[in-house]
Amino acid sequence: MKNNKRLVLASASPRRREILSGAGFGFSVRATDVDEALPPDLTPEEAVQYLAKIKNNAVGLNGGEVCVSADTVVVCDKKILGKPTDAEDARRMLKMLSDRSHFVYTGVCIRDAEKQNVFFEKTEVFFYPLIDEEIDGYVESGEPMDKAGAYGIQGKAALFVRKIDGDYLNVVGLPLARLARELKKFGLFT
């Protein structure tokens, strides 16, 4: 029996598109612009799931479509670090992450016409000590400006990472192995 389900990615993130494409997923992109202001007092787990859900619910679905959305944050000292507002904010975040560990949370929401599933993954990342020149050079490259926690593990910041405990692709922005298993529940990729 032929499966007529179609995957929709509700994200403008080039990294999420690359992850899905690299794994051989066929999908269309339908990104939305939503207010990402968080309600007060959410835990990191609740925050990423909340954001993934509002992004997903903003996408209209046609028959047979399954929508996937995600949101990623970095957490250090129990503080959620989103995307830096400017170069100084990026420097501040990178200094905070230097010579210690932090956590990366990605919330994912999957929805079709009948049901919705929301989950998160958590990965611990350990940074080497960073000197000001390394931080300044990285910030000047522009790479940290559109990334949670002011770094992209798949780019130049890979040089900062001593080790990780958990899913590498979760740190990039989409926990692919868990996502594939959850999509099976929606009749995709069985």
Give the tokens for residue 112: 């079709």
Whether 71 is catalytic is yes
Write the DSSP assignment of 30-79 as a string of letters.
-------PPPTT--HHHHHHHHHHHHHHTS---TTEEEEEEEEEEEETTE
Residues in the chain: 190
Catalytic residue among 33, 71, 86, 167: 71
Indicate the SS3 state at residue 126: strand
- Cα 89 from Cα 110, distance rounded (Å): 32
CA 123 to chain centre: 11
- Cα 169 from Cα 116, distance rounded (Å): 22
- What value, to the nearest 5°, has the Cα angle with vertex 121 and ends 68 and 86? 80
Nearest to 141 by CA among 72, 94, 103: 94
- Cα 89 from Cα 99, distance rounded (Å): 18
Q: Which residues are catalytic?
A: 71
